[in-house]
Structure 1
Amino acid sequence: MTAVHGDERLAARTQELLGPRHLVTAAAVVGPDGVTVASRGADLHADFEIGSISKGITGLLYVDALERGEITHDTRLGELLPLGDPPAAEVTLDALSRHRSGLPRLPGSAQPLRRTLALWRHGTNPYGEDLEQLLAQARSARVGRPRPRYSNLGFELLGHAVAGAAGTTYADLVHQRIARPLALDTLYVPATADQLSSNAVTGTNRHGRPQQAWTGEAVGPAGGIRASIQDMARLLAALLDGSAPGSGALDATSRFGGGVHIGAAWITITVRGRSVTWHNGGTGGFRSWIGLDRAAGAGVVVLSATSTPVDRQGFGLLTEASQAREAG
């Protein structure tokens, strides 16, 4: 029998929604009874890859740096990173934060197809570059029209640029400005596999095969952060009450197509008549989802150590939490 930790009712409801493919899961709900956490198959201190929810944390750091006066919306990449004078150097941080930079999802020099095939066949980490390799990719990247276009490359560069403005590394910036102030002891950015904690969960693909951890200095700001469900619950609560540094990142500032709006990484849509601010994440062996109904004061995090999506279930849990919040 798989061990359950934390709140048994939440663990059971999460498993009911996720189904048998998700063997190692964790969830957190902020609702009328405060913060509730649960996990199945790993303890509450085990850390998961949160994937592109890392972009949401980079968005927080970006807005926090704006508030500190270290950068402006119009600060260009070339002012903070040693890029020389390629087109990418002229891209503004504001454009990066809203996925409107014109940069591709990944640069052609990164050989994305080859990486994807290696991931599918062998479960290998497709993101192992250091910062210098990232900068080399940026120098050769084509910059297109500044329209809404999701870009991992853009958020990698944004995070390292914000760290450069603060005179530190991205990993240290996350620790200094997010993890330490909010007492998030398990939230960290491993650059190599040997930096993984002893509580690091191993992810699997949807067929149950183990996958290499997605570590790398370059990928940190776009998808390289790890955290436990307890720390994600604390972060969620701080986002809801506005005490998280850079919480203004959640405020939608522009359209991102259709009924979708975006702030600094964070997406806002209307679900069943309610405004939901959210982000998801996916790596070779993990899926994650975080969402907030700010009007109701409710929020949900779902983490899974398998690559089967959890978005629908996250939205479902959030609807339940919002309704319970209002009924209470």
Structure 2
Amino acid sequence: MVAQWRGDTALIRAVGRVFRSTGRAAVAVITPQGESTATVGTDHQSTFEIGSISKAFTGMLYRDATERSLVSQTAVLRDLLPLEGHGEVGSVSLSSLAIHRSGLPGLPPGMHLLRRTFDFWIRGQNPYGDSLADLLEQTRYVRVGTPRPRYSNLGFQLLGHAVAKGAGTTYERLLREVLGEGFSTPARAEDLGPADLTGFSRFGRPLPAWVGEGLAPAGGIRATIGTMRGFLRSVLDGSARGLSALEPVSKFSPRVGIGAGWITLDFQGRAITWHNGSTGGFSSWIGLDRDAGVGVVVLAAAHGSVDRRGFRLLTDFVNSRGGATVTR
């Protein structure tokens, strides 16, 4: 059955060239000529897990906090989190966490890693239900390796909670204060409501939500397509806080730069700033061509990369410079 998208006509045409079929998804586009949104199988009130796009938001919270002198630019984790007796982890700098160059592993090692892997791949369970206290305890015996580019969920979990402590609040409250209302970071399955979508595996299996206080800064944020469109608008018009996070300050690989969480890439001769996300049952992508003033968000309630679709849509709208019209 052909998916029936709803929304702006021009965007639906563009989406139709990229999405062959889909279950529940939403797309937002902003160009200098206006904004548009399209949805399929869902509506504007439904919230999606945005996965690791959360890291890009955490990078902005970090930069905003340093710009407001709430957090020192030379701060290390033990300055902000109770890590007495946790060995090397306390000496890791927030600045190195923000560019995935801290020496921390992707996840806490040992039984915690084995449990996460087994629970997710065998049982389909949420592997990230930890409280902040649980997360900190898991770092007690973590060894810090050589600082080099290494993508780390653990690093961004610690970064986000450290920044929130520096600001004297919780991560969710700081997120809403800095980037706007509409975002949520549910700590328990009981915190979910009717608007929170259920995600599906690539084989169509419904999966439990990825919730957990500890997870939030690295992959636990939920948002509607309207909230994401508003965020995208604020970045493109320059009103968002922590915008310096988008500026690359280091190399993540020979062709890829990194700011605070945000990735930069030369794509078909254009400088693209972006991040993607993936949880057990959701996939997401956000990308901006800041020179052209064009941005795209793709959210899907199904596991499986939407990166190619996001890049294709962004390229199409940069080339057309305005196939979208303002939705009201």
TM-score range, shorter chain: over 0.9
Match of 2:228 among 220, 228, 232: 232
Structure 1 equivalent of residue 12 of structure 2? 11
> Which amino acid is the alignment partner of residue 114 of structure 1?
R
Q: State whether residues 201 and 303 of structure 2, in contact with CA within 8 Å, keep that contact through their aligned partners in structure 1.
A: yes
Inter-partner Cα distance in structure 1 for 2:111 and 2:15: 37
Match of 1:306 among 267, 287, 302: 302
How much does 1:33 deviate? 2.7
Inter-partner Cα distance in structure 1 for 2:243 and 2:140: 32
Deviation >4 Å, runs of 4+: none
Deviations 1:36-74 (A, max 9, x none): 111100001210000000001101100000111011221
> Which amino acid is the alignment partner of residue 28 of structure 1?
A
Q: State whether residues 51 and 281 of structure 1, in contact with CA within 8 Å, keep that contact through their aligned partners in structure 2.
A: yes
Task: Give the share of equivalent positions with the same residue, in percent.
Answer: 50
Q: State whether residues 71 and 167 of structure 2, in contact with CA within 8 Å, keep that contact through their aligned partners in structure 1.
A: no
* Residue 199 of structure 1 pairs with residue 200 of structure 2: no
Structure 2 equivalent of residue 120 of structure 1? 121
2:156 is paired with a residue of what secondary structure? Answer: helix
Inter-partner Cα distance in structure 1 for 2:64 and 2:193: 27
Inter-partner Cα distance in structure 1 for 2:147 and 2:282: 31
Q: State whether residues 274 and 286 of structure 2, in contact with CA within 8 Å, keep that contact through their aligned partners in structure 1.
A: yes
How much does 1:274 deviate? 0.4
How much does 1:111 deviate? 2.7
Structure 2 equivalent of residue 25 of structure 1? 25
TM-score where L is the length of structure 1:
0.94
TM-score where L is the length of structure 2:
0.94
Structure 2 equivalent of residue 80 of structure 1? 80
2:100 is paired with a residue of what secondary structure? Answer: coil
Inter-partner Cα distance in structure 2 for 1:96 and 1:214: 22
> Which amino acid is the alignment partner of residue 270 of structure 2?
R
Deviations 1:4-29 (A, max 9, x none): 43224423532441322x21110011
Structure 2 equivalent of residue 154 of structure 1? 155
Deviations 1:302-328 (A, max 9, x none): 011110110011000000111122899
Structure 2 equivalent of residue 264 of structure 1? 260
Structure 2 equivalent of residue 322 of structure 1? 318
Structure 1 equivalent of residue 105 of structure 2? 104
* Residue 280 of structure 1 pairs with residue 276 of structure 2: yes
1:174-189 counterparts in 2 under 5 A? 174-180=175-181, 185=182, 187-189=183-185
Q: State whether residues 125 and 207 of structure 2, in contact with CA within 8 Å, keep that contact through their aligned partners in structure 1.
A: yes
Alignment gaps of 5+ in structure 2:
none
How much does 1:234 deviate? 0.7
Inter-partner Cα distance in structure 1 for 2:313 and 2:216: 28
Structure 1 equivalent of residue 54 of structure 2? 54
Q: State whether residues 296 and 326 of structure 1, in contact with CA within 8 Å, keep that contact through their aligned partners in structure 2.
A: no
Structure 2 equivalent of residue 138 of structure 1? 139
> Which amino acid is the alignment partner of residue 73 of structure 2?
H
Alignment gaps of 5+ in structure 1:
none
> Which sits farther off after the overlay, 189-198 or 48-57?
189-198
Over the aligned positions, Cα root-mean-square deviation in angstroms equals 1.7
2:253 is paired with a residue of what secondary structure? Answer: coil
Pairs aligned (count): 322
Inter-partner Cα distance in structure 1 for 2:124 and 2:31: 37
Inter-partner Cα distance in structure 2 for 1:197 and 1:61: 26
2:127 is paired with a residue of what secondary structure? Answer: coil
1:256 is paired with a residue of what secondary structure? Answer: strand
Match of 1:243 among 230, 239, 249: 239
1:108 is paired with a residue of what secondary structure? Answer: coil
* Residue 223 of structure 1 pairs with residue 224 of structure 2: no
Deviations 1:69-116 (A, max 9, x none): 011221000000000141010000000000000000001145324322
Inter-partner Cα distance in structure 2 for 1:252 and 1:325: 25
